[in-house]
């Protein structure tokens, strides 16, 4: 699959970049995508939720009323979950939500997500660029010239680019990521992916088939 390389003014440079079919042209495995996104979200959960059970609630242990003769149900403790201020039945307790996935499955999920975006024309390649100083207006102009939506837009760089990162920091739905940090969740959440030219080669190195043997 070939894509034309654009400059930051949105004009074609006359060069084309080859998108590896093993990354951008496979049959997407939706279940692999589901598992990888599920793991990503689960691993981000703190799991610090806690509700007090009846043995943890402070209060008297005195029997509230006599066992029989009141016409009502038996009540032995003010900590009864049926009473206001009592303990909670089967309440949440701190736990670890994280789980593991095989590396091959995670690679398959990322390739599937990238193939989905490529099939919907949600991938653009631009020549490498940088800013001498952070400037949000310049990023907004680039987005306008590239004719892409600024909602959930991700710029994928091949390495750290502090000035570009600082330029988009004030934009709520635009982000900058290194290609090595690109997760399946980030790909699926993005409406459009803008790769700089060198990051395509970074993808090829990251998904080197020799690493999967």
Check: pTM over 0.75? Answer yes or no: yes
Residues 124 and 207 reside in one and the same domain = yes
Residues 91 and 102 reside in one and the same domain = no
pLDDT of residue 212: 43
Q: Which residues of the chain have pLDDT under 70?
A: 209-213
pLDDT of residue 10: 84
Residues contacting 88, CB < 8 A, separation 6+:
51, 52, 53, 81
Q: Round to whole Å and give the CA distance between 87 and 18.
A: 62
47: left (phi over 0), alpha (psi -120 to 50) or beta: left
Q: Round to whole Å and give the CA distance between 146 and 174.
A: 14
pLDDT of residue 211: 42
Residues 182 and 110 reside in one and the same domain = yes
Q: Round to whole Å and give the CA distance between 17 and 25.
A: 14
pLDDT of residue 1: 80
CB atoms within 10 A of CB 57: 17
pLDDT of residue 49: 95
Among 63, 80, 96, which residue terminates a domain?
96
Residues 80 and 122 reside in one and the same domain = no
pLDDT of residue 61: 85
* Domain coverage including residue 61: 47-96
How many folded domains does the chain comprise?
2
Burial of residue 19 (CB within 10 Å: 0-12, 13-18, 19+) is buried
Q: Phi and psi of 174, rounded to 5°?
A: -120, 135
Q: Round to whole Å and give the CA distance between 70 and 127.
A: 83
Among 96, 111, 136, which residue terminates a domain?
96
Residues 35 and 111 reside in one and the same domain = yes
């Amino acid at each position: 699959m070939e894509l034309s390389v654009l400059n930051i003014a949105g004009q074609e440079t006359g060069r084309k970049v080859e998108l590896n079919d093993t990354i951008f042209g496979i049959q997407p495995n939706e279940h692999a995508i589901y598992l990888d996104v599920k793991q990503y979200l689960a691993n981000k959960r703190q799991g610090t939720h806690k509700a007090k059970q009846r043995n943890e609630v402070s209060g008297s242990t005195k029997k509230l009323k006599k066992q029989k003769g009141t016409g009502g149900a038996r009540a032995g403790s003010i900590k009864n979950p049926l009473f206001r201020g009592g303990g909670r039945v089967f309440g949440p307790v701190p736990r670890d939500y994280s789980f593991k996935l095989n590396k091959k499955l995670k690679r398959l999920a990322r390739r599937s997500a990238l193939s989905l975006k490529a099939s919907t024309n949600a991938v653009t390649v631009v020549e490498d660029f940088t800013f001498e100083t952070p400037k949000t207006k310049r990023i907004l102009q680039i987005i306008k010239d590239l004719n892409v939506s600024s909602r959930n837009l991700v710029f994928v760089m091949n390495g750290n680019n502090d000035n570009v990162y600082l330029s988009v920091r004030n934009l709520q739905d635009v982000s900058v990521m290194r290609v090595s940090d690109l997760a399946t969740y980030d790909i699926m959440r993005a409406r459009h992916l803008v790769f700089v030219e060198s990051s395509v080669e970074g993808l090829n190195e990251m998904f080197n088939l020799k690493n999967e043997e």
